[in-house]
Amino acid sequence: MQALKEWQVVELLKTTTGYFEEKNVDEPRISSELLLGHVLGQSRLQLYLHHNRPVYPDELDRFRGLCRQRLEGRPVQYIIGEQYFYGLKFIVDERVLIPRPETELLVEHALESLGMTGRGGSSEARILDIGTGSGCIGVTMAKLCPSLTVTALDCSLDALDVARMNAATHAVESRVTCIAADMFDEKFVTRLPEHAFELIVSNPPYIPDAEWEGLQREVRQYEPRIALTTPQGIECYEAIVAKAEKLLVPGGKLCFELHADAAVSVSRLMTVQGFSEITVYKDYSGLDRVISGVMPLGN
């Protein structure tokens, strides 16, 4: 009987990366590293520090099972059940969107709008995170700034379960309140105290339905469409901007993540509603990514 091949970490990574490349898997090397690291309980760096470590048969079987899922198009983050965001590890699965690096810019500018740095702050503030999903925005802000309290809203009960787990994981559950609410419900505002929040922050569904078929296959197949699209892509912005006056304190801030083509239309919505100091920030690709504005003191 022929002996089974004995694999070492570096050889297995090289072979798997090459196979993923042949099968047109997105990010083949990173996919290989994250999946093997998950099986071995090691970070990507540790894999290379221990590159000659043998991969034992039971570990190889588990790794191959995860690779089969990746070949079917399932995102690595859902396979291993986690994604890093702003340096923090978040639980993710098919109930929520996978946090993207671009959304870190929303957190950065939201904190700046409150006069806080990305790694702390002493001023107390109440944050309303609309469409919280995994909770990555609100939980990250609460974790970085112990003086903040966050009300995290989502219309999905499943998503709120994930957000609660992430709040507990980062020990901020006492300052992050998760509430089920639909921003399009006429009674939305009555669920919340009036003029109670210094900041509304949101990464809402903003992809028009017409763009759905052009998205990556794994996004269309696995990520929750309700968190991605609306008929025209503008509806969530309209709903939030219209309700912001009753929710923000005078001088409160509103901060959105943007569809790359939505800066002009969202800026117009905010101007009509009375917001001032409207500012658009670009991401590292030069695309409009975040917009913020201030509710006048007189409102």
pLDDT of the residue at 121: 53
Q: 7-72 has which fold?
A: Helicase, Ruva Protein; domain 3 (1.10.8)
133: left (phi > 0), else alpha (psi -120 to 50), else beta?
Answer: left
pLDDT of the residue at 296: 83
Q: Which of 62, 52, 57 is nearest to 13 (CA)?
A: 52
- In the chain, list all ranges with CATH 1.10.8.10: 7-72
For 130-185, how does the pLDDT look when each residue is reduced to its tens digit (9 = 90+)?
999 999 999 999 999 999 999 999 999 999 999 999 999 999 999 999 999 999 88
The three-state secondary structure class of 154 is strand
Asked if residues 239 and 269 have their Cβ atoms less than 8 Å apart, the reply is no
Question: What architecture is the 93-294 domain classified under in CATH?
Answer: 3-Layer(aba) Sandwich (3.40)
Return the ∠ at Cα 224 (arms to 289 and 137), rounded to 5°. Answer: 45
Mean local confidence (pLDDT), 84-91? 96
Mean local confidence (pLDDT), 108-122? 76
- Dist CA 227 CA 133 (whole Å): 8
- Dist CA 152 CA 158 (whole Å): 13
- Does the pTM surpass 0.75? The reply is yes
Asked if residues 108 and 162 have their Cβ atoms less than 8 Å apart, the reply is no
- Dist CA 61 CA 12 (whole Å): 12
Q: Which of 237, 182, 184, 230 is nearest to 207 (CA)?
A: 230
Out of 121-125, 197-201, 236-240, 289-293, least confident range:
121-125
Mean local confidence (pLDDT), 90-96? 98
User: What type of residue is 243?
Assistant: K
For 16-74, how does the pLDDT look when each residue is reduced to its tens digit (9 = 90+)?
999 999 999 999 999 999 999 999 999 999 999 999 999 999 999 999 999 999 999 99
**Which of residues 260 and 154 earns the better pLDDT score?**
154
Rounded to the nearest integer, the mean pLDDT of the chain is 93
pLDDT of the residue at 211: 95
End-to-end CA distance of the chain: 82
- Per-residue confidence band for 1, with pLDDT thresholds at 50, 70 and 90: very low
For a pLDDT cut of 70, what percent of the chain falls above it? 96
- Per-residue confidence band for 191, with pLDDT thresholds at 50, 70 and 90: confident
For 239-248, how does the pLDDT look when each residue is reduced to its tens digit (9 = 90+)?
999 999 999 9
Out of 138-142, 217-221, 232-236, least confident range:
217-221
The three-state secondary structure class of 95 is coil
Q: Is the pLDDT of residue 2 over 50?
A: no
Q: Which of 233, 142, 261, 149 is nearest to 196 (CA)?
A: 149
- Dist CA 46 CA 59 (whole Å): 16
174 burial (CB, 10 Å; 0-12 / 13-18 / 19+) is exposed
- In the chain, list all ranges with CATH 3.40.50.150: 93-294
List Cβ neighbours of 139 (8 Å cut-off, separation of 6 or more). 88, 90, 150, 152, 163, 166, 167, 170, 172, 176
